[in-house]
Amino acid sequence: LFSSNLVPEARMTFHITILGTSSATFGHGRFLTAQVANIHDRLYLVDCGEGTQLQLLKYGINANRIDRIFISHLHGDHYYGLMGLLTSMSLKGRQAPLHLHAHAPLLDVLVAHQRAAQAALQYPLHFHPLEPGQAGVIAAVPGLEVEAFPLRHGIPCSGFLFRETPKPRRIIGERLPQGMPSELIETLKLGQSVRFGGKLCAWEDMTLPPKPSRSYAFCSDTVYHPPLAEWVRGADLLYHEATYDSRLADKALAHGHSTAEQAAQLAMAAGARHLAIGHYSVRYADPALLLEEACGVFPPTWLAEEGKRFHLDIDPDMGIGLSCERLPAKLP
């Protein structure tokens, strides 16, 4: 339960880099859905639209540092960049295993490509099939769990929730007796008292509450679906698609998508702290209208934009703050 105490303090990063925000096709300089979550200095790629490897190069992210890839569904705008990326990883000497979480038919696609090329990847690729409607933990590493949950779209489609596991309590250094062995300190951090030097050392006296655990929820393509709020409840940052504005609500429903207003309603119902919207229809040269619409319902809304990085940081008062930076772009 408290495995996060294995994560060194300096590696407590938690940020999301947006690589693509366009729905269906390229337009207005926007790329197709892909994001990189850097959590505790490990990289997770979420969706891999065409052009994702160019975007990784452009924003200085080393693809061979990616540990896991999560693909929400098998519409092309969410995975057509995958074959190129997997192949480039191999050409660049990757040997470390890669974990791929996706709906089962993707495996047939990968196998067909390798058969046609008569070439295999030079590193182990572990395929973890997602079942339609699957809900619950699909990946766990020390300090982090990833849950899948079902979205409502034309084909099986999964959202993903990245959540830090509960953290150990914080030691109050000046209250610790001299020379206490580290095993006893670790025990105090778990909220258990210890005996040392003939005295009882109470965890209540020597520790403070743990740092809060941060969470990020990703809802790629979905109609407005109120039950989703339960899966993403309290997320510090919720990404929710906002393909259309509210005048096109009928079209959104017919095509399996949401409006910006609906994304904001979902964020509100879920008690999310912040909302990032994306997956903009190419009919919007500028998604400012979508932002305005969402902010009318849920003010802490941000536009996802290529090269934008959202940081979830723990501030000195133990609150979770969101900040944004824009990465410089390099020519691939």
Q: Please indicate whether residue 221 is annotated as part of the active site.
A: no
Distance CA 295, CA 179 (A): 54
**Per rule CB under 5 A, is residue 75 in the interface with Zn ion?**
yes
Phi and psi torsions of 33, nearest 5°: -55, 125
Name the minimum Å distance from CB 78 to Zn ion: 6
Closer residue to Zn ion, CB minimum distance, 55 or 213: 55
The amino acid at 96 = A
**Per rule CB under 5 A, is residue 47 in the interface with Zn ion?**
no
Helix 82-91 × helix 105-117 angle, to 10°: 50
Name the minimum Å distance from CB 260 to Zn ion: 15
Pairing of strands 194-196, 199-201: antiparallel
User: What Rg do the C-alpha atoms of the chain give, in angstroms?
Assistant: 22
Binding letters toward Zn ion, positions 250-279, x by CB under 5 A: ------------------------------
Stretch that binds Zn ion, among 125-133, 204-212, 217-225, 318-326 (CB under 5 A): 217-225
**What single string gives the DSSP state of each residue in 75-111?**
SGGGTTTHHHHHHHHHHTT--S-EEEEEETHHHHHHH
Closer residue to Zn ion, CB minimum distance, 23 or 38: 23
Stretch that binds Zn ion, among 4-12, 72-80, 96-104, 132-140 (CB under 5 A): 72-80
**Per rule CB under 5 A, is residue 164 in the interface with Zn ion?**
no
Name the minimum Å distance from CB 77 to Zn ion: 4
Name the minimum Å distance from CB 93 to Zn ion: 32
Q: Which of 41, 67, 77, 205 is catalytic?
A: 77
Distance CA 302, CA 1 (A): 33
Name the minimum Å distance from CB 75 to Zn ion: 3
Classify the C-alpha dihedral 29-22-275-165 as positive or negative.
negative
Q: Answer whether 248's CB lies under 8 Å from 255's CB.
A: no
Closer residue to Zn ion, CB minimum distance, 75 or 211: 75
Q: Answer whether 49's CB lies under 8 Å from 81's CB.
A: yes
Binding letters toward Zn ion, positions 221-240, x by CB under 5 A: x-------------------
* Total chain residues near Zn ion (CB under 5 A): 3
Helices (H) and strands (E) in the chain, counts: 9, 19
CA distances from 175 to 179, 183, 191, 195, 197 (A): 12, 17, 15, 14, 14
**Per rule CB under 5 A, is residue 77 in the interface with Zn ion?**
yes
Stretch that binds Zn ion, among 60-68, 168-176, 182-190, 219-227 (CB under 5 A): 219-227
Binding residues for Zn ion, per CB under 5 A? Answer: 75, 77, 221
Catalytic residue set: 77
